[in-house]
Structure formats: C-alpha cells, structure tokens
Amino acid sequence: MIPGLFWPDASFRIDPLPALETLLARGEMFKSAKMPIEEWLCRAFGVKRQKDWPVAPFFRPEGARGYRLRADPVHLQLMRDRFVLIGGELLPVSGEETARLIETLNRHFAEDGFQFSIEQGAWILEIPEDPGISTTPLSEVMGRDISKHLPQGEDAMRWNHVLNEIQMLLHDHPVNEEREKRGELPVNSLWLWGGGSGSETASSGYASVRSNDPLANLLAARTGIPCGPVPEDAENWISSLAAGEHLLVLGDLFLPIKYRDENEWDGRLRMLEQQWFSPLHQAVQEGLSLTLSDCESGLGFGVEKLDLWKFWKRIRPLLEHPA
C-alpha cells in the first residue's frame, strides 16, 4: 500500500521510473473506492465503522472502555477567506511542549469530564459519553480548507463551540509565544477525529505487517500478527518473508501529495525507485506475487512473473495513470 503514488491532474513532468512503470504496465489494473489510509486499514483488519472509523480506541490498552477521539495538534493557516490545515510531520511538537499544552487543556475542561493524554505517541481525548458527531480523518483534511470537514451530527454545534474554546486557550499560550519567537508555526487548534467506544476487535489474514504508521502496527499487534517499522529497503524486507500474504505500507509520498509539493514528491519517488521498486521488480522476476495499490486514488496493480513477459502492453509514464 502506497498512499499518494498517483498524483491527481498532474500539470508537470518527471523523469522516467523504469522499474515502477514496468510493474504498472505489465500488471493487471483494478479499481476500488477512494478512501483515506485510516479507513483502508480499518477495512483490511475487519474493524466495524461506528459514527467514525474508530481509530482512537486502538491507542489504548486492550479491554479499556469509554469514548475516545484523536485530538491531533494542528495549525490553521488563514488563506484569504478560508482556513487551511497544516499538521502531521510539518508541525512537530516536543514532549515538553505537549505536556504543557495538555496540562492547560485538562485544567480548563476538567468540569466537563474531558481528559487529554498521550498514548502510543498520539494525542487522545477521552470523554464521558458518545459526542453525537461524525468527524473527518486528519489525513483527509491536510492542506485543505477545513470548512466542509468540521464535526457533523446532532451535537455538532456544541463540539464546534468546544473547538472554539480550545483555539482561544491555545491562541496566547506561552508555548505558542515561544514557538513564534523561534519562527515556528503555533499549535492553534486540535483536530478531533477517529472516535469510538468499547474495546474494538480486529482480524486479518496477513502473515506480517511492516509500516511506519502507528495504526497499522497497533491493528496488527491486536491480532497477534508480527509487525514493525518499514525496513531500510526491499531486499531487507523480502529476505525476512515467510510464506503467506504480507502487508507493507510505504507512506513516503503521502505528505508531499497532500500539500502539493511536486519537488518533494518527485524526490521521494526517486528514492523509492532505487530502494524499493527496482528490487521488487527483480523479486517478481524470481517469482514474487506483488500488489501495488494507492487507497487515495483507488488504483491498484497486481503483477506476477508471467506478467512481465507481456511486452505488448505499453509502458506509460507514471503521471499518465488517472488518479
């Protein structure tokens, strides 16, 4: 799974990617619904949707109860008449800053029964009951106008008011004053998403999972599947594989495509071509069955050894594939 592999409506050119473009040309294309990586992972592991795809419950010990939401720190950038969200790796927040901000939030919302915490590296909000809203995953809003992605549902007005309170608390917080003096973006809001209650279960037929996405590894761990970070390159990954179907999530292209950074996307593609696609092409020649897919575009390609002999299938530049 490679979120961001296919750039939508590209108006620029890139140099050839021989290994990747050969795998795509010779393989069998399939299409599925476009979806954020969080939804794809939940579906892949048999997680049932509540009002949201319940991501937050997996960031806690198995068996824990209560309703939880992800509450990721973000920066809302005013762009003329709209606010665009910046978050994730583009908004690093230190452990010391995190502790101070969470202390302020917990003190302010104590009477509401809200509890902010850090679990498995994620900002989590635990609340006494179902909030009565549906939310949009952070990954779907990065680099976009937030106006159409705010909480929806019977209690949306209340929760939009809560978000306004949070923004006022953060506006002149000493942590943000210090960040701005250093030329860093302030944390001026939180993005609530991925809510759920109960102890979620997961199941999957994968023999192993390798990903730098915490959710993928938490889902795998919940099912007892061996998991861990992405290896240095394809050769290291392939050499570790036993029989069965294995999931590898390469997230390198995700942020550049979300923030429309063409040069960064192209540069990361070059790295993937060298470290991953070229060795994978060789592995397919030796008998590996491979599926390359991008949940953001819904495009996927399955390729096996015999497919590489289909020389009549024209090799197309990556940007010619419709995203």
Helices (H), ranges, the chain: 18-26, 37-44, 95-108, 138-141, 156-171, 174-181, 214-223, 234-239, 254-258, 262-272, 278-285
* Residue 238: partners with Cβ closer than 8 Å, 6 or more residues away: 279, 280, 283, 288
Closest Cα to residue 23, out of 257, 297, 273, 320?
273
Q: How far apart are the first and last CA of the chain?
A: 15
Q: What's the average pLDDT block by block, 10 residues per block, for the chain (323 residues)?
A: 90 90 94 95 93 91 77 93 90 94 96 92 92 94 92 94 95 95 95 86 87 94 93 93 93 92 95 97 94 95 90 85 72
Pair of tokens at residue 9? 């409506």
What letter would DSSP give residue 23?
H
In order of 62, 155, 225, the CA distances from 207 in angstroms are 21, 42, 6
Q: Please tell me the predicted confidence (pLDDT) of residue 42.
A: 94
Sign of CA dihedral 163, 166, 172, 178: negative
What letter would DSSP give residue 90?
G
Q: What is the C-alpha to C-alpha distance for residues 285 and 272, in angstroms, rounded to an integer?
A: 18
- Give strand pairing partners of 299: 31, 294
Q: Please tell me the predicted confidence (pLDDT) of residue 200.
A: 66
How many degrees, rounded to 5, is the angle at CA 274 between CA 273 and CA 278? 70
Pair of tokens at residue 38? 């969080």
Contact 268, 288 (CB under 8 A): no
* Residue 204: partners with Cβ closer than 8 Å, 6 or more residues away: 44, 45, 46, 219, 220, 223, 225
Which residue pairs from 310-313 have beta carbons closer than 8 angstroms and sit at least 24 positions apart in sequence? 310/26, 313/25, 313/26
In order of 4, 18, 26, 263, the CA distances from 315 in angstroms are 20, 9, 8, 23
What letter would DSSP give residue 47?
P
Q: Please tell me the predicted confidence (pLDDT) of residue 63.
A: 57
